[in-house]
Structure 1
Amino acid sequence: MGTHGISGSRELFMGSDAFTVIKGCNCPVLTVPDTWNKTSFGKVLFPVQLKPGTFEKYFYARPIIEKNNSEIYILGLAERNKPRELKELASLVDKLKLQMHYDHVKFQSAFSPCTDFPEKVFQVAEEFSADLAIIAVNTDSSKTSKNIPFAQQLINHLKIPVLSIKPISHHIISDIQPEFMENGQEV
Structure 2
Amino acid sequence: MKKILVPVDFSKHSEYALEVAAQIAKDKHMEICVLHMIGLSESVLSKNEAEEYKEAQYYMKLANKRFKPFLDKDYLKGLKLSQLIQNYKIFSEINAIVKELNIDLVVMGSHGLSRARDAFEGSNTEKVVRTCEAPVLVIKQRRQDLKLNTLVFAWNFKDEIAKTYKKVKQFAHFFNAEVHPVFINTPSIKFLSSTSIEEKLKYYSEQYDIHEEIVVYSDITIEEGILNYAKKIEADAVAIPTHGRKGIAHFLKGSIGEAMANHAKIPVITFKIDV
**TM class by shorter-chain length?**
0.5 to 0.7
Bigger Rg over Cα: 2
CA distance in structure 2 between the aligned counterparts of 1:47 and 1:151, rounded to whole angstroms: 11
Tell me, yes or no, if structure 1 residue 123 matches structure 2 residue 228: yes
Shift of residue 131, structure 1, vs aligned partner: 1.0
Whole-Å separation in 1 of the counterparts to 2:158 and 2:116: 24
TM-score where L is the length of structure 1: 0.66
The answer as to 2:148 corresponding to 1:38 is no
- Alignment partner of 2:258 out of 152, 162, 175: 152
Structure 2 gaps, min length 5: 1-106
Residue 70 (structure 1) aligned with residue 177 (structure 2): yes
> Within 1, Cα distance between the matches of 2:133 and 2:187?
33
Compute the displacement of 1:87 (Å).
Answer: 5.1
Structure 1 position 133 matched with structure 2 position 245:
no
- The structure showing larger relative contact order (alpha-carbon pairs under 8 Å, at least 6 residues apart) is 1
Q: Output the amino acid matched with 1:127.
A: K
Sort the Cα spacing of 1:85 and 1:54 in 2 relative to 1 into closer, same or farther, 3 A. Answer: farther
Residue pair 1:48, 1:93 contacting (<8 A) in 2 also: no
Judge conservation of contact 2:184–2:216 (CA < 8 Å) in 1: yes
SS in 2 for 1:27: coil
Distance in 2 separating the partners of 1:51 and 1:150: 18
Q: CA deviation at 1:35?
A: 2.0
Mapped partners of 1:32, 1:99: distance in 2 = 33
Number of equivalences = 160
**1:180 matched residue in structure 2:** none
> How far does residue 111 in structure 1 lie from its aligned partner after superposition?
0.8
CA contact (8 A) 2:164 2:271 kept: yes
* Higher share of residues assigned helix: 2
Structure 1 residues 96 and 67: alpha-carbon distance in aligned structure 2, compared to 1, 3 A threshold: farther
> Hey, what's the Cα distance between the residues in 2 that align with 1:30 and 1:54?
19
Q: Residue 46 of structure 1 aligns to a residue in which SS?
A: strand
Is the CA contact (8 Å cut-off) linking 1:57 and 1:135 kept in structure 2?
no
TM-score with structure 2 setting the length: 0.48
| Cα separation, partners in 2 of 1:24 and 1:64, compared to 1, 3 Å | closer
Asked whether the 8 Å contact 1:19–1:155 carries over to 2, the reply is: yes
| Superposed CA offset, 1:74-112 (max 9, x none) | 2112333745576555444452698455xxxxx654212
User: Which runs of 5 or more residues in structure 1 are unaligned?
Assistant: 102-106, 170-187
RMSD: 3.4
